[in-house]
């Protein structure tokens, strides 16, 4: 299992978290998603390391911007 945290800008409420979660759930291998709206972060647990381009595309599709990967 791999856990990665990403900074996402534009999220301000629970609905934002829902939109981001919905899109990220579509990525192959994702087993858990934790969205922290207050800190503007998303933590993904996956079977294998995820391609950041796929994560960015999913966040973009939800209407937000992936600004950075965090350790």
Specify burial of residue 27 (Cβ count, 10 A radius: 0-12, 13-18, 19+): middle
Taking 50 as the pLDDT cut, the residues of the chain under it are: none
pLDDT digits (tens, 9 = 90+) for 56-65: 999 999 999 9
pLDDT of residue 69: 80
Domains contained in the chain, CATH given: 2-70 (3.30.70.100)
pLDDT of residue 71: 57
Instruction: Name the CA radius of gyration of the chain, rounded.
Output: 11
The token pair at 11 is 């999220």
Alpha-carbon distances, residue 33 vs 10, 18, 64 (angstroms): 18, 11, 16
């Amino acid at each position: 299992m791999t856990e990665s945290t990403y900074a996402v800008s534009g999220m301000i409420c629970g609905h934002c978290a829902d939109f981001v979660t919905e899109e990220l759930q579509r990525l192959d291998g994702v087993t858990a998603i934790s969205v922290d709206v207050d800190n503007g972060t998303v933590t993904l647990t996956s079977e294998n390391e995820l391609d950041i381009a796929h994560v960015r595309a999913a966040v973009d599709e939800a209407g937000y911007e992936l600004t950075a990967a965090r350790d």
